[in-house]
Amino acid sequence: MHTTALLFLLGCITICQLQQVYYCDFEENCDDFLFDKYWTVNNISTHADHTYGNLSGHYVVTTDLGTLKSAVSFRTKDWIEPPNNMAACLTQWIYSNETNIAFGAELAQGDDLQSRLSAGLIGIGGNNSQWNAYTIQLPYAERFIVFGSYFNVSQSIDLDDMSISLCNNTISPPETRVFDCDFDRNLCPELVSLSNYSYSWSVIQAKQALTDTKQAPPVDHSIGDETGHYIWLNNLNSLKSGGAGYLKTRVFDFETLQKAFCLSFQYYRFGPAFHTSKLTVFAWDEYNSKSLAQIWPIRPVNYAYFNQRWSWAYAPLPRGNYSLLFRMDSEQEVNNSFALDSIKISTCQYPRSSFRRDSYLSFACDFDSDPNRMCDIRNDDKGLPPNSTVISDVKKADEIVNGGLGPKYPSGYSGKRFLYWARSDDTPANFSNGQIKTPAVETNADMCIRFTYFVNSTNVEPNERNTKLEILTLDCNSDNLWSTELDDSAGWRLVTQSFPPTSCRGSIYFRISQRRPTPVAVAFDDITIAQCSSLHQLTTTVPPATTTTTWNRSSFNCVSFVIIVALLAFALQLRS
């Protein structure tokens, strides 16, 4: 037998002589453990069981292994909550002639069971003449369900006298708590609802909440009655479709503490229906890159929230210095909301992971910041014909050689660089498109995009409008935010455009296309995606023409509007 100890693993043949929490000998129905479809209780024994030591006893055995794709598994039926000074030990008696199988255990936490703490992996060598005991001391956790899996299984495995026992905690240090908020004993003044968003979090007593919204939590979680308090987003009827609201913690230093930390909280999803509103927790690096890393849900695709009850959420936290953001949003109509209680951050036994950016709360790029001048903006061909795109790149005006098309100067709002795209007479005819995309942004109905653009072209007919610029969302709710068709922008132009009434995570796409291939120069600069109310006033010595529009599917482009106004003014002058 060979044993590989990876993490928190004790392989031994001595049974814990302590209090048993769960136990199954399979002589009666096993109510403490649940097994997948590859296990069955053996009623006709081919060898003595472990409990009685004769052929009349029972044990569980693997079956139908011909359809097995990965592993055979089991789990405890209910939660295990050991005292602070105790750990749990998993013991199994195994009978098998397999020579290369491995057993791994995990601790699942949170009502969704998505947070998984590995308890280790052990190699098991078979001995078909006797039962062998294996005991693993599990890492300490305050509440969990045990999942066990056998890998590399090709022949029968028999299990008997399975148990979870409390044993002395020899491998886990005491818990350290750095944040604890229940809105009763701790009022949590450091929790702040971010401004500039249409949804606002507030603390309320459960009794009062019921008078405002009949579907609200009737009791809080920490106290458990109507006198307790929680924080919520109320007034379902007044919440704006496609809006969002953020609850922000203080900044935590999880880099220098050299310990792993985990987030635990209770949420209550309430409302007359449950469709599009959702809750997400982010780590927000607000002082460095302003990026977001999603913490919870751990696996968000098609995530199913628990409704009309307090539910436990749990997730490990990455290294770094950041605050936490609890975001509630609604993709479209608002038919439910959320309340939060019992928010805790404490040490845990999970391995420390790195902060990995998933999106941005807001985004800005002027193409002047070294070394990342592109700000992680990328060339892209999503939605375009294959082999039809010309690559964009960061340039200065004095670096451009294109027969005088320009731009001959920057926008004037920032530095000297801008994003440049061009076609010449030497460009193959099929290369008539260009597209860039920003990193993913957490958008909502109160958000705007602001940018400057430049277009100049040759070999076109008067007012041909051969070049088209579009600003698109393609990753979730596909919309054309803004577009214009033109041949010459007459210098740099500034656009501010609001987002549609929806919320999602996705990149913003800047698309360039031509009806027919002609020489053209296109440039973008001063891109900002943020809440409309937070956009600061831009200043420049020579302001470009400015257009501000509200998102509307039927609106025409700003350049057409400017041209019409100019023609009308000219006609009025002639008549006078």
Tell which residue, 526, 525, 549, 551, has the closest CA to residue 536.
526
Give the pLDDT score at 99: 76
In this predicted model, what pLDDT tens digit does every residue of 120-138 receive, in sequence order? 888 887 666 789 999 999 9
Backbone angles phi, psi at 32, to 5 degrees: -100, -20
Domains delineated in the chain: 20-168 (2.60.120.200), 177-358 (2.60.120.200), 363-568 (2.60.120.200)
Least confident of 202-211, 479-488, 521-530, 541-550: 541-550
Q: 366 is written with which tokens?
A: 């002027």
More confident residue, 128 or 63: 63
Say yes or no to pLDDT of 5 above 50.
Answer: no
Which H or E run contains 345?
strand 337-347
As given in the structure block, the two tokens for residue 183 are 């809105």
Provide the mean pLDDT of the chain.
88
Report d(CA 204, CA 172) in Å as an integer. Answer: 37
Contact 300, 237 (CB under 8 A): no
DSSP 8-state assignment for residue 139: P
Cβ contact 490:377 at 8 Å: no
Confidence of residue 468 (pLDDT cuts 50, 70, 90): very high
Q: What is the residue whose two structure tokens read 């908020």?
A: 181
Give the per-residue pLDDT at 336.
87
Question: Does residue 564 surpass a pLDDT of 50?
Answer: no
Could you say which DSSP state residue 375 is in? T
The DSSP secondary-structure symbol of 573 reads: H
Closest CA to 557 of 503, 478, 493: 493
Nearest one of 535, 534, 481 to 504, comparing CA atoms? 481
* Distance in angstroms (rounded) separating the CA atoms of residues 138 and 161: 18
Is the N-terminal amide bond of 218 cis, ω within 30° of 0?
Answer: no
Rounded distance, CA 564 to CA 568, Å?
6
Spatial separation of the C-alpha atoms in residues 85 and 172, rounded to whole Å: 9
SS3 sequence, 17-71?
CCCEEEEECCCCCCCCEEECCCEEEECCCCCCCCCCCCCCCCEEEECCHHHCCCE
Task: Name the token pair of 377.
Answer: 């903006």
The answer to whether residue 189 scores a pLDDT higher than 70 is: yes
Question: Bigger pLDDT: 281 or 571?
Answer: 281
pLDDT at 541 over 60: no
* Beta pairing, strands 59-62 & 202-205: unpaired
- Residue 257 has what pLDDT? 84
Rounded to whole angstroms, the Cα distance separating 270 from 216 reads 6
59-69: b (≥16 Cβ within 10 Å) or e: bbbbeeeeebe
Average pLDDT for residues 348-376, to the nearest whole number? 94
Predicted confidence at residue 150, as pLDDT, reads 93
**pTM of this prediction?**
0.88
Q: Tell me the CA end-to-end span of the chain in Å, nearest whole number.
A: 103
CA 206/CA 184 separation, integer angstroms: 11
CA distances from 90 to 106, 120, 336, 361, 538 (A): 11, 12, 41, 44, 64
Look at residues 153, 126, 157 and name the one whose alpha carbon lies nearest to residue 69: 153
Using alpha carbons only, how large is the chain's radius of gyration in Å?
31
- Per-residue pLDDT for 452 more than 80? yes
- What CA–CA distance (Å, rounded) separates 316 from 293? 12
Question: What sign for the dihedral angle of Cα 252, 254, 257, 263?
Answer: positive
Cα separations in angstroms, 208 against 185, 191, 193, 203, 219:
18, 21, 20, 11, 10
Query: In the chain, what percentage of residues exceed pLDDT 70?
Result: 89
Question: What single string gives the DSSP state of each residue in 147-159?
Answer: EEEEES--S-EEE
Tokens of 28: 């009666």
With contact defined as beta carbons under 8 Å apart, do 249 and 369 qualify?
A: no
Strands 493-498, 545-549: pairing is: parallel
Q: What are phi and psi of 323, to 5 degrees?
A: -100, 165
Q: Which of 3-7, 119-123, 184-188 is predicted with the least confidence, judged by mean pLDDT? A: 3-7
Q: How confident is the model at residue 548 (pLDDT cuts 50, 70, 90)?
A: low
Per-residue pLDDT, 46: 83
> What's the pLDDT score for residue 575?
54
Angle (nearest 5°) at CA 111 between 109 and 237 = 140
Give dist(CA 423, CA 431) in Å, integer: 8
Residue 274 has what pLDDT?
A: 77
Give residue for tokens 């209780």. 41
Contact by Cβ (8 Å): 68, 131: no
Residue 1 is encoded by which pair of tokens? Answer: 């037998």
The answer on pLDDT for 377 being more than 50 is: yes
Secondary-structure percent of the chain, ordered helix, strand, coil, rounded to 5: 5, 40, 50
- In angstroms, the CA 205 to CA 226 distance is 7
What tens digit of pLDDT does each residue of 239-291 get? 788 999 999 999 999 998 889 999 999 999 998 777 778 999 999 998 888 89
Nearest to 286 by CA among 325, 247, 245, 328: 325
Average pLDDT over residues 297-302: 94
Identify the band that residue 65 occupies on the pLDDT scale cut at 50, 70 and 90.
confident
**Contact between residue 444 and residue 329 where contact means Cβ atoms under 8 Å apart:** yes
What is the token pair recorded at 84?
């602070």
3-state class of 459 per DSSP?
A: coil
For the chain, percent of residues with pLDDT exceeding 90: 69
Give residue 478's pLDDT band: very low, low, confident or very high (50, 70, 90). Answer: confident
